[in-house]
């Protein structure tokens, strides 16, 4: 179906070759995951598959790409539409119609299909990504995750023989993710669709027929998921998150490699390992003993709606104390970002009050508020405007009326904290996505706010970038900043947040210490969230561990058991 | 924040064929352009307001009232000074030039209102389809509807940039007009860069979805003339006929105005 021979590509006017000789064969109906660090050349590889390279993207292209028996060099991009559908990473730029159904119809219309067939394609493609009820909505007003699903539907509507997806789940909530993957599996079964998918989520890659690892423009490993994903260390070095269950089996030094909580559960039982009550009590005590300062943020009975009749927030109450590390989770469109925008006065509550340090934020000026609550936006590219990294970070403190010397100190501190001090003279737009995200944090940090609110700070980052971002955030929390983080990544919440707020349809569904919230899978499920594998394993064992470390620490290896010899 | 003008309603006016709506807009323009007298311009405006109200589109005027006021004021003052009349009042201003300024101000604002009403009740895709059925080639009609579509995208990018910078303490409401205008300059960089990036992506997405792949393209939207279109057509033709007749009879001009 897809065949690449000796493919090399060098972007016009750019440093190094991005693809350095790729050879790859993908069979019809095969599901292939492509993984690797940022900058490995994954997106570039995708762009060669429907001829965007060499037809629309300039550069030096060598080798040969053949899709459905046609050579990309010889056939224009538009001719490939019925054969291979490409969904880009930047899904917002792919939507240009005024309703969801017209968006889905656009491709089939270009293919000249008759009206009955158009109707069928629209219905079928929207239903397959659970967007059927949004038919008449405007794509521009959908939430990030909804837009992402629509971008996929708009390509599916052409029923391409092969689908190439460049990080299709970055903005989806956990349930949305698994639904989307399920939809793709169904398509493969029903239509024999071939699938190539760039993905950072290792757990999802287990369902693939083949996993490719890419680094610095080359394919460095390929094989079945078990073969390729087994070596956790090598994965981590390549910027790919190791599987929790594999990490666990190697920590426990078992000869078998576990991939799912079910396998791990059986394995642990047959080894006769028990849970150390003492160790678990210690964990719970550690949770209880956490001390926080006074209330810094108080949201009481806040309601807000963008349009009449559809409230985005309903009677939300939330108190945050100094020094807390709080995660806000929930489905796409559940009101998380709307709530965050109330915390620094970008939105004014239509009813209710928001107090920062006991003062109504409606009475504060933006320059005063920015010292109290800093908000880091989801997409760094919407906020970065300076031509130098240093100037970008100096914008906020400059507005606070500080002396140039003070501004300089603040900027230096902030850039130091995010590890960008050496890049201070660079143009932000040449930085990687991870570095731009860090710069966005630095520019907020430089205003020295007590409370830092981060809206999905790890979207689109690879594992290395993600780990360093979380280390940065944790460091800020240790240094006394109160942290509120909106995220879809449940493993991140489990590993880092002391408290978790679950939102659903504009309300707070659950609010408490993370362990307590994660001990209630029913309400998480109600909010369309799923437990990380290690948490779900620990619950099978009768307690709630949040990380592999905690789980290993609570397993009682003292009791000798004859069955443990496998 | 609602950035699109189009309002999804099910009114008599919304249900019309886009070609009829284009026709209605053109007739409205003609009613305004035929005359000079502010009373006649006012009558034209009234017609537009009536069908605008029927379409439930007048709410959108709230978004641009300042623009309408400024444009109206500028054309009133400009023409009051520049036009020449026979009855001097003071300085360069004559009774006729004053009337002409007033008439022109109403004329331009009313034309904008007619445009707003049209866009509030017609989807971009319907505009495009209407233009195609009127004989425009598809790529041209598509480019036109894409231009309409991109305006709110840019405005949206601007709002996000403003929010991000307000979060860092930028107070856009402080200072005099010039200071406030200066504060908007940093917003231009992210808007500009995002625009270039997204236009580039858009071109790729269009190709990727088979834009222009087949000679004959089909349409999901269905348009066609119905009874309502006929009613509007007859009414507008009668109105246009009346206006032309009045104009031929010499009504609606400003006597003594020297252009």
Q: How far apart are CA A95 and CA A84, in angstroms?
A: 18
* Both tokens assigned to A162: 């092969």
* pLDDT at A142 > cutoff 90: no
Chain B residues inside the 8 Å CB shell of A386: 186, 189
Tokens of A499: 């408290």
At residue B62, the pLDDT reads 87
Place A566 in a pLDDT band, splitting at 50, 70 and 90: very low
Q: Which of A92, A1, A94 is nearest to B211 (CA)?
A: A94
pLDDT in the model for residue A565: 42
What is the chain A residue with the closest CA to B209? A107
The CA-atom distances, in angstroms, between B245 and each of A204, B34, B249, B253 are 74, 11, 6, 13
Element (H, E) at A439: helix A433-445
Q: How far apart are CA B104 and CA B83, in angstroms?
A: 11
Cross-chain residue pair B220–A122, CB shorter than 8 Å: yes
Q: A374 touching B, CB under 8 A? A: yes
Say if A70 is an interface residue toward chain B (CB within 8 Å): no
Checking if the pLDDT of A305 tops 80, the result is yes
What is d(CA B95, CA A283) in angstroms, rounded to the nearest whole number? 89
Using CB atoms, pick whichever of A57, A102, A374 lies closest to residue B167.
Answer: A374
Please check the confidence at residue A559 and state whether its pLDDT lies above 50: no
The pLDDT > 90 percentage for chain A reads 51
Specify the range with the lowest mean pLDDT, choosing from A62-66, A342-346, A494-498.
Answer: A342-346
Chain mean pLDDT for chain A: 89
**How many residues are given for chain A?**
566
Spell out which residues of chain B touch residue A122, defining contact as CB-CB under 8 Å: 220
First-to-last C-alpha distance (Å) of chain B? 45
Cα gap B117→A311, rounded to integer Å: 28
pLDDT tens per residue across span B211-224: 988 888 899 998 99
Check pLDDT > 90 for residue A219: yes
Pairing between strand A162-166 and A84-87?
parallel
Which of A180-184, A298-302, B53-57, B234-238 is the least confident region?
A180-184
Instruction: Please list, in sequence order, all residues whose beta carbon lies within 8 angstroms of the beta carbon of residue B193, skipping any fewer than 6 positions away.
Output: A381, A429
Q: Is the model more confident about B82 or about B153?
A: B82
Return the minimum-mean-pLDDT range out of A129-133, A365-369, B182-186, B217-221: B182-186
CA distance A73 to A50: 10
Q: Has residue A316 got a pLDDT over 50?
A: yes
Which residues between 308 and 367 in chain A have a beta carbon less than 8 angstroms from any beta carbon of chain B?
341, 344-346, 365-367
Put simply, the answer to whether A56 touches B174 (Cβ < 8 Å) is no
Is the Cβ pair B194, A382 closer than 8 Å?
yes
A537-543 long-range Cβ contacts below 8 angstroms, 24+ apart: A537/A245, A537/A248, A537/A261, A537/A264, A537/A265, A537/A268, A540/A261, A540/A265, A541/A265, A541/A268, A541/A275, A542/A275, A543/A275, A543/A280
Query: B 110-129 residues with CB below 8 A of A?
Result: 123-125
- Chain B residues 166-185 within an 8 A CB cutoff of chain A: 166-171, 174
Q: Which residue of A has its CA nearest to B150?
A: A96
Token output for A50:
């429907």
List, in sequence order, every beta strand (DSSP E) within B69-198: 88-90, 93-94
The pLDDT-based confidence of A339 (bands split at 50, 70, 90) is very high
Q: Work out the average pLDDT over A518-541.
A: 91
Give pLDDT tens digits for A252-271: 888 878 888 999 999 998 88
- Over residues A134-154, the mean pLDDT reads 87
The average pLDDT across A226-235 equals: 84
Closest Cα partner for A183 from A210, A143, A156, A144? Answer: A156
B205 near A CB under 8 A: yes
Q: What residue in B sits closest to A343 (Cα-Cα)?
A: B167
Decide: residue A250, CB within 10 A, 0-12 exposed, 13-18 middle, 19+ buried: middle
Mean pLDDT of A355-374: 87
* A-chain residue closest to B205, CA distance: A94
* Cβ–Cβ under 8 Å, residues A85 and A158: yes
Q: What percent of chain B has pLDDT over 90?
A: 55
Distance CA B104, CA B86 (A): 18
Tokens of A474: 């944790």
Residue B158 at interface with chain A, using a CB cutoff of 8 Å: no
Contact state of A365 with B171 under an 8 Å Cβ cutoff: yes
> How does residue A557 score in pLDDT terms, banded at 50, 70 and 90?
low
Chain A CB within 8 Å of residue B209 CB: yes
A62-73 residue pLDDT tens: 999 999 899 999
pLDDT band at A558 (very low <50, low <70, confident <90, very high): low
Give mean pLDDT, residues B199-204. Answer: 85
Residue of A403, A402, A421 whose CA lies nearest to A413? A421
ipTM of the complex model: 0.82
The pLDDT assigned to B3 comes to 64
The whole-angstrom distance between A189's CA and the closest CA on chain B is 23
B194 touches chain A (CB under 8 A): yes
In chain B, count H helices and then E strands: 9, 2
pLDDT above 50 (res A562)? no
Contact with chain A for residue B153, Cβ under 8 A: yes
Provide the pLDDT for residue A94.
87
Residues listed for chain B: 259
Separation CA A275–CA A554 (nearest Å): 6
Could you say which residues from 53 to 112 on chain B have a Cβ atom under 8 Å away from some Cβ of chain A?
A: none
CA distance A9 to chain B (A): 18
> A52–B168: do the CB atoms touch at under 8 Å?
no
b/e burial code for range A354-367 (CB count within 10 A of at least 16 → b): bebbeeebeebebb
Using a CB-CB cut-off of 8 Å, the residues of chain A touching B184 are none
User: Which residues in B lie closer than 8 A to residue A155 (C-beta atoms)?
Assistant: 208-209
> Does B186 contact A374 at a Cβ distance shorter than 8 Å?
no
User: What is the pLDDT at residue A112?
Assistant: 92
Q: Pick from B170, B186, B189: which is nearest to A366 by CB?
A: B170
CB contact under 8 A, B198 and A90: yes
| Four-residue CA torsion sign, B4, B5, B7, B13 | negative
The predicted structure's pLDDT at residue A548: 92
A92-113 pLDDT per residue, tens? 888 889 899 999 999 999 999 9
Give the pLDDT mean for B207-235: 91
- Note which residues in 111-170 of chain A have CB less than 8 A from chain B: 111-115, 118-119, 122, 136, 138, 140-141, 154-155, 158
What token pair was written down for A219? 């394919």
Question: What pLDDT, in 10s, does the model give residues B12-28?
Answer: 999 999 999 999 999 99
The interface residues of chain B toward chain A in range 1-60, judged by CB-CB distance below 8 A, are: 1-4, 6, 8
Q: Please report the pLDDT score of residue B156 as a whole number.
A: 78
Give the global pTM.
0.83
pLDDT digits (tens, 9 = 90+) for A381-428: 877 888 899 999 998 888 888 899 999 998 998 898 888 999 999 888
- Residue A560: pLDDT above 50? no
| Placement of tokens 């309703």 in the chain | A99
Radius of gyration of chain B measured on its C-alpha atoms: 22
How many CB pairs below 8 Å do chains A and B form together? 188
């Amino acid at each position: 179906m897809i065949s690449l021979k000796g493919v090399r590509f060098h972007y016009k006017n750019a440093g190094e070759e991005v693809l350095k000789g790729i050879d790859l064969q993908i069979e019809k109906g095969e599901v292939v995951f492509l993984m690797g660090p940022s900058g490995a050349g994954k997106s570039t590889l995708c762009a060669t598959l429907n001829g965007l390279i060499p037809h629309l993207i300039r550069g030096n292209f060598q080798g040969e790409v053949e899709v459905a028996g046609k050579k990309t060099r010889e056939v224009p991009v538009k001719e490939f539409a019925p054969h291979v559908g490409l969904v880009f990473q930047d899904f917002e730029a792919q939507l240009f119609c005024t309703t969801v159904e017209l968006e889905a119809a656009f491709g089939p219309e270009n293919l000249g299909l008759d009206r009955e067939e158009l109707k069928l394609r629209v219905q079928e493609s929207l239903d397959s990504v659970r967007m059927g009820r949004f038919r008449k909505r405007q794509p521009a007003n959908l939430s990030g995750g909804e837009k992402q699903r629509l971008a996929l539907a708009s390509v599916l509507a052409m029923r391409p023989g092969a689908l190439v997806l460049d990080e299709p789940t970055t903005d989806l909530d956990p349930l949305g993710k698994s639904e989307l993957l399920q939809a793709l599996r169904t398509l493969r079964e029903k239509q024999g669709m071939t699938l190539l998918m760039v993905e950072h989520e290792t757990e999802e890659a287990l369902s693939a027929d083949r996993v490719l690892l890419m680094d610095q423009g080359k394919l460095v490993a390929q094989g079945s998921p078990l073969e390729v994903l087994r070596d956790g260390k090598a994965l981590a070095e390549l910027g790919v998150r190791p599987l929790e269950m594999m990490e666990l089996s190697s920590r426990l030094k078992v000869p078998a490699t576990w991939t799912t909580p079910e396998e791990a559960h059986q394995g642990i039982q047959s080894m006769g390992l028990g849970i150390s009550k003492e160790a678990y009590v210690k964990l719970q005590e550690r949770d209880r003993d956490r001390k926080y300062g006074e209330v810094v943020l108080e949201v009481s009975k806040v309601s807000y709606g963008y349009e009449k009749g559809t409230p985005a927030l309903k009677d939300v109450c939330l108190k945050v104390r100094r020094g807390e590390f709080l995660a806000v989770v929930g489905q796409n469109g559940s009101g998380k970002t709307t709530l965050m925008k109330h915390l620094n006065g970008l939105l004014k509550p239509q009813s209710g009050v928001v107090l920062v340090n006991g003062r109504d934020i409606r009475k504060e000026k933006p320059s005063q508020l920015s010292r109290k609550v800093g908000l880091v936006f989801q997409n760094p590219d919407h906020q970065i405007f300076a031509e130098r990294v240093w100037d970008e970070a100096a914008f906020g403190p400059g507005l606070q009326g500080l002396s140039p010397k003070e501004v300089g100190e603040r900027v230096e501190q902030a850039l130091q904290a995010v590890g960008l001090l050496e890049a201070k003279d660079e143009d932000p737009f040449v930085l990687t996505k991870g570095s731009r995200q860090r710069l966005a944090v630095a520019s907020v940090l430089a205003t020295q706010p007590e409370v830092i609110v981060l809206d999905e700070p790890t979207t689109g980052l690879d594992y290395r970038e993600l780990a360093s971002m979380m280390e940065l955030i944790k460091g800020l929390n240790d240094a006394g900043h109160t942290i509120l983080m909106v995220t879809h990544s449940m493993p991140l919440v489990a590993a880092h947040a002391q408290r978790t707020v679950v939102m659903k349809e504009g309300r707070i569904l659950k609010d408490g210490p993370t362990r307590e919230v994660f001990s209630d899978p029913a309400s998480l499920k109600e909010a369309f969230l799923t437990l990380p594998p290690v948490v779900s394993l620990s619950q099978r064992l009768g307690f709630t561990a949040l990380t592999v470390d905690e789980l290993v620490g609570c397993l009682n290896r003292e009791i000798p058991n004859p069955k443990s010899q496998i | 924040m609602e950035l699109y003008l189009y309002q999804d309603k099910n009114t008599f006016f919304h249900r019309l064929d886009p070609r009829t709506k284009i026709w209605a807009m053109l007739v409205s323009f003609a009613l305004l352009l035929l005359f000079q007298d502010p009373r006649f311009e006012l009558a034209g405006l009234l017609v537009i307001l009536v069908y605008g109200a029927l379409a439930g589109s007048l709410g959108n005027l709230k978004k641009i009232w300042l623009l309408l006021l400024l444009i109206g004021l500028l054309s009133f003052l400009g023409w009051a000074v520049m036009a020449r009349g026979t009855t001097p009042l003071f300085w360069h201003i004559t009774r006729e030039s004053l009337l002409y300024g007033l008439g022109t101000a109403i004329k331009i604002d009313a034309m904008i209102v007619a445009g707003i009403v049209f866009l509030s009740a017609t989807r971009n895709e319907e505009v495009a389809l209407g233009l195609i059925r009127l004989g425009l080639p598809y790529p041209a009609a598509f480019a036109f509807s894409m231009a309409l579509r991109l305006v709110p995208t840019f405005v949206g990018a601007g709002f996000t940039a403003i929010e991000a910078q307000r979060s860092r303490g930028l107070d856009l409401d402080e200072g005099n007009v010039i200071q406030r205008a200066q504060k908007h300059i940093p917003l231009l960089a992210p808007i500009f860069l995002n625009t270039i990036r997204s236009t580039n992506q858009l071109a790729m997405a269009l190709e990727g979805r088979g834009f222009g792949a087949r000679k004959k393209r089909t349409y999901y939207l269905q348009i066609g003339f119905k009874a309502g279109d006929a009613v509007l057509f007859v009414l507008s033709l009668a109105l246009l006929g009346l206006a032309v007749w009045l104009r031929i009879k010499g009504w609606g001009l400003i006597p003594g105005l020297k252009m």
